[in-house]
Amino acid sequence: MKYERTDGIDVGAQLRWEFSGIGNFLWRNTWTRVMSHYYQQGPGQPAYDLVRSFDNPNGTPDFPDKLTSTLTWALRNLSATVEADRYGEVVNSALTGFLAPTTLVNLSVQYKLRSTTFGVIVNNLFDTIKADNSFGWPFYPASYFSPYGRQGWLEFNYHFGA
């Protein structure tokens, strides 16, 4: 019989401000801390620490913590959101140590006109690439982060019906 146990803490908070003529603001914050995550395939099998151990059947440990902070501004038909995600330290590719925490910032802007919404979205606004030269190719922590850097796109939505 498989055994798995996870212990952690989740905390969240949000604040709202309304300013006449300037718009409405919403600031949300969530923080997750994984205290432990143990996994055992079956009786007599080793129990793995999926948070801090280099010996992991899944190949990579979990993120030990993540903080997300989002600030949204809205005024009439226009809104903008900036989101910062801070990921905790992760195991390097050589399985000999940990890489420092990384923060990625995303930005989106939307304009709504009746049943139509136009948007611009930019992920990884500051083109942050997490390098990991500890073991060799692919030189980035492939199981955790994308190697592509900044990505952007335009979005068009139309709502049919009432």
- Structural domain harbouring 124: 3-158
Number of domains in the chain: 1
pLDDT in tens, 11-56: 999 999 999 999 999 999 999 999 888 888 888 888 888 777 777 6
CA 110, CA 76: separation in Å to the nearest integer? Answer: 11
Calculate mean pLDDT across residues 98-114. 94
Query: What pairing do the DSSP bridges indicate for beta strands 65-75 and 78-87?
Result: antiparallel
